[in-house]
Amino acid sequence: MAPSPTPVENIPITQDTIQIDKDLEALANDASRAYLDFNQRISRIRTLVNDILLRISGSSKQVESAMGASTSSLGVPSLSALPTPSNPGLIGNYSAPTSTIAPTVTDSTYEIIPGKTYTASYTALITTTISDHGSASVATSAVPTYSLQAQPPVYQFNPDASDNLAVYWGQTPNTTADGLLQLCENADVDIVILAFLNQFYPENGQGYPGINFGPACDPANINQQQKAPGLLDCTRFATQIQACQALGKPVLLSLGGYLANTSFVSDNQAEHFAETLWNLFGAGREELGIRPFGPDVILDGFDIDNENHNTSFYNTFAASLRKQFDKDPKKKRYYISAAPQCPIPDESIPLEAMRQVDFVWVQFYNNPSCNLNSTGFEKSVQNWAVQLANGTTSTNTTAAGKGPKMYIGAPAFAEAGSGYVNGSEFAGYLAKVKNLDLPNLGGVMLWDGTMGALNVDEFGASYLDYAKAAVQ
């Protein structure tokens, strides 16, 4: 707390005090002028801000909207409503030999162009000094400083984009228990698919499914042991899923894999299994305490990676998943993907089912006739694009009625199988795909993300870097 001003009647009236009184009066006038000058400068800065924002946006109408009331569509406060520094209060209050007033307006944030924010700040300093012995002097300054800085945009997944990178995670030798979040934090990655739920009905066509996410989970909890022995306790791992989702990266659960029991014997069983998945991994109700990721984690969808050469009832299954998604009262957006082999027709996933999904990542590897580096690659890509685009029963959420987005699936490391090419070669093959001008191209899928991040060449670029750059 500042000391109280000295009462005027206790000061002897001398020539010195008369001079001090004059000096103080001049001081007050100077301070007032400085304050007025400060406000004038702030007014000019406001004009400058407005002009700069106009230049940034290139649209006066958009800026006018952004400068309106705080209830505007962009949620931006009016620039004219920025706080004005209060009166420095110098007049009549000389309670200390030195008084410093620093009116400041800082960190006012505006979102003029959607997805980009700008921070403006300006300050001013008024300093006055009074001598302890006889005379008063004043030094005032009111020189605002101003800055406008662009802030990095917040990532937002775009399912309709043509340059997304989807990666599998969970089943390669270098998978680590804490590696999912590291993968999601990689700016190259847009979608992550957890591999795998590999047993639909391990108990003779009944009960609950079985899962295997490598080192990510702990053994089954007591409820799972008693009621669903194929499930695991993945609650420790669940926080990474939530962190990925908080970063804007969808996390899907893949159903199948090379060695998996993923068949249906009837439409009823396919419908029931869709409901089971919804209750275990979606927003459904499950009261037995057996949800692998706990009650709070809701995945963003499911990936169909059936490789058992039995296509029966998968059309019903895909349609049933959509019906389960519609039950969510919060209307969260969910996705379905499929991962067929590149030969046409795929022996395990029927075309009718694929036309109901959002993304189809065709595996252009481990199939000599249509591998990425084969002579039949480009023709296969074109054939897949036509097949998926000609769907008339599409219920996908990315481009309803136009079929799903097609992704070019490739191995991210040599040991994944035939069809592997190095990063720079991959860019060349993707350039050929882009030259086809396919309207339903969605991006690239890699098996898998962990190995893609570790596969770094002599220039320090990872396979993920090459894949993302190639598709952009």
Task: Give 200-266 as a DSSP string.
Answer: S-TBTTBS--EE--GGG-BSP-HHHHHH-TT--B-HHHHHHHHHHHHTT--EEEEEE-SS-B---SS
pLDDT at 42: 63
**18 band by pLDDT with thresholds 50, 70 and 90:** low
Is the pLDDT confidence value at 124 over 90?
no
Our CA dihedral for 239, 240, 243, 249, rounded to 10 degrees, sits at -140
Band of the pLDDT at 21, cuts 50, 70, 90?
low
Which pLDDT does position 415 carry in this prediction?
93
Average pLDDT over residues 81-96: 35
Beta bridge partners of 104: 123
pLDDT tens track for 138-193:
444 444 444 444 455 678 999 999 999 999 999 988 888 889 999 999 999 999 99
Q: Encode pLDDT of 443-454 as tens digits.
A: 999 999 999 999
pLDDT at 140: 42
Burial 317-341 (b: 16+ CB within 10 A, else e): bbbbbbebbeeeeeeeebbbbbbbb
Beta pairing partners, 302? 253, 336
Question: Are 256 and 195 within 8 A, CB to CB?
Answer: no
d(CA 456, CA 227): 44
Question: Where residue 89 falls among pLDDT bands split at 50, 70, 90?
Answer: very low
Q: How far apart are CA 68 and CA 79, in angstroms?
A: 8
- Spell out the domain ranges in the chain: 8-151, 164-471
Burial bucket for residue 132 (CB in 10 Å: 0-12, 13-18, 19+): exposed
Q: Which two tokens stand for residue 304?
A: 């169909």
Q: What is the pLDDT of residue 74?
A: 30
DSSP H or E stretch at residue 199 = strand 191-199
Q: Is it the case that residue 102 has pLDDT exceeding 60?
A: no
Measured in whole angstroms, the distance separating CA 284 from the mean position of its chain's CA atoms is 25
Query: Which CATH number applies to 164-471?
Result: 3.20.20.80
Burial per residue of 412-430, b for 16 or more beta-carbon CB atoms within 10 angstroms, e otherwise: bbeebeebbbebeebeebb
DSSP 8-state code for residue 7: P
Q: Which of 97-106, 268-277, 377-386 has the lowest mean pLDDT?
A: 97-106
Interstrand relation of 136-137 and 164-169 (parallel, antiparallel or unpaired):
unpaired
Radius of gyration (C-alpha) of the chain in whole angstroms: 33
What span, in angstroms and rounded, lies between the C-alpha atoms of 385 and 297?
34
Q: Name 219's Cβ contacts closer than 8 Å, sequence gap at least 6.
A: 232, 233
pTM: predicted TM-score of the whole model, two decimal places: 0.69
Yes or no: say if 378 and 405 are a contact pair by the CB < 8 Å rule.
no
Confidence label for 285 from pLDDT (cuts 50, 70 and 90): confident
Structure tokens at 268: 């009823």
- Residue 107's alpha-carbon distances to 104, 110, 119, 192, in angstroms, are 10, 10, 6, 36
42-56, 172-186, 391-405, 425-439, range with greatest mean pLDDT: 425-439
Q: Which long-range contacts (CB under 8 A, 24 or more apart) does 437-441 make?
A: 438/381, 438/382, 438/385, 438/406, 439/389, 439/402, 440/385, 440/388, 440/389, 440/399, 440/402, 440/403, 440/404, 440/405, 440/406, 441/162, 441/385, 441/405, 441/406, 441/407, 441/408
Over residues 251-273, mean pLDDT: 92
Residue 420 predicted with pLDDT over 80? yes
d(C-alpha 403, C-alpha 380), whole Å? 17
Residues noted as catalytic: 307
Cα distance from N-terminal residue to C-terminal residue, the chain? 61
Higher-pLDDT residue of 40, 279:
279
- How many Cα atoms occupy the beta-carbon half-sphere of 20 within 13 Å? 18
What does the mean pLDDT of the chain come to?
78
Whole-number Cα distances in Å, 257 to 303, 337, 342? 10, 14, 15
Is the confidence at residue 57, as pLDDT, over 90?
no
- pLDDT of amino acid 214: 87
Which pLDDT belongs to residue 80?
38
